[in-house]
Amino acid sequence: MAAIDIERVAKRFAGSVRPALDDCSLSVPAGELTVLLGPSGCGKTTLLRLVNRLLEPDSGRILVDGTDVHTLPAPILRRGIGYAIQQVGLFPHLSVGANIATVPLLLGWEKGRIDARVGELLELVGLAQACRRRYPRELSGGEQQRVGIARALAADPAILLMDEPFGAVDPLLRARLQDELLAIQRKLRKTIIFVTHDVDEALRLADRIALMRAGCIVQHDAPLSMLTAPRDEFVRSFLAADDVLRRLGVTSAAEAVVAQQRWESASLQAAIVPSAIDGAPVVRDSDSLRSALAALIESRAPALTVVDADGRRLGSVGFDDIRRAVRS
C-alpha cells in the first residue's frame, strides 16, 4: 500500500481565464478509496493526471510514500500505477489476455507468471477464462470495463487511478460494476483515487470524498460527515445533504445496532426493543440502512436480524432504530 500526498499544486492551461487547479492539497491514506467529486470543469481529471505525470503542475509537488514523483522517470512511475478510464482504452488488435498482460510484459515477467496472473485477474473481475482469447470488439461495454480494471491491476500496483470508469454504461450495469469494485477493494486494499461527477456513486464507493469547485478542494471528508456537516451552501446543495435517503445510503446496519444499544442504555427500555424473530429478514452489518429499510417495507416484518460476515447475530433493528441512527 502507498499513501499519496498532494501539496499546494497549481495548474493553468494556455488561454484559460482561470487556473485549472489553484493551491490544491490532499492526503490520500494508504489502502483507502478517495473520490474526487464535483461539476464538469472543476479540475478533477487534471488533479488525477498529475499523480502519474500525464500532466505536470506549475507549482507544488506530489509525493508517493514520501517520494516526490518528479524524481522518478515518468515511464517507471506509470508502470507502478494502475490507470482505468471511461473509454477503457483497450488495444483493439490484442486479445483480452494480451491486453491484461501489457504491463507485466513491459516489466519482463516470465510467460508462466503472466499467464497465471491473467487467469487470476479474469476470475477477480468476474470474467470466464475463455475470454482471454477474445478481442475487445467481441465484448459488451461492461465486459470491456472489467478488462480495463484487470489490466490496471495486472502488475499489482499499490495505487489505482480511475477516471469515471463506469460513466459510459447503463445504470444497472454501473451498480454491478460498483459492487465488484467494492469487493475487489475489500480484498486488495489498494490506494485508489476515483473521479466522478455522480454524487450517489461517490457516496457509495468512497472512504473519503474531496469535493471540488473551480480548481479548489472545498471539503475533504467521510461521506456521512459530508452529508451531516457540509462546510458551506455549495457542499450542502451539490450533495443534496438534506436528502434522508442519501443519509440512509451511507449509514450501515451495524450503526443502527449501535444506536439501538445506546438508546437502550440511556432509556432502560430494552424490553420493548424487538428481539430475534423467527423468519425475520436478515441483513449484513455492512449493508446500508437504505437497503435495510427496503427489506423492512417489503417483508412487513417489525424488525430485521443483523448478522456479521460470519453469520453471527449482532442484534435486531426496527423502524425506530433506523430513524435514531440517521438522526444521530
- Report pLDDT for 291: 84
pLDDT score at 272: 40
pLDDT, position 313: 87
Express as a percent the part of the chain with pLDDT over 90.
46
DSSP letter at 288? Answer: B
Element of type H or E holding 68? strand 67-68
Contact 70, 58 (CB under 8 A): no
Sheet with strand 59-64: strands edge to edge: 21-28, 4-11, 59-64, 67-68
Tens of pLDDT, residue by residue over 53-89, are: 999 999 999 999 999 999 999 988 988 899 988 766 7
Name the nearest CA neighbour of 316 among 286, 268, 283.
283
Provide the mean pLDDT of the chain. Answer: 87
Please say if the pLDDT value at position 4 is more than 90: yes
CA distance 238 to 261: 33
Residue whose cell numbers read 459488451: 140
pLDDT tens by residue, 106-154: 889 999 999 999 999 998 888 899 999 999 999 888 888 889 888 988 9
Q: Is the pLDDT of residue 265 over 70?
A: no
Identity of the residue numbered 250: V
pLDDT at 189: 92
Domains of the chain with bracketed CATH? 4-240 (3.40.50.300), 253-327 (3.90.1280.20)
Buried b (16+ CB within 10 A) or exposed e, 220-229: bbebbebbbe
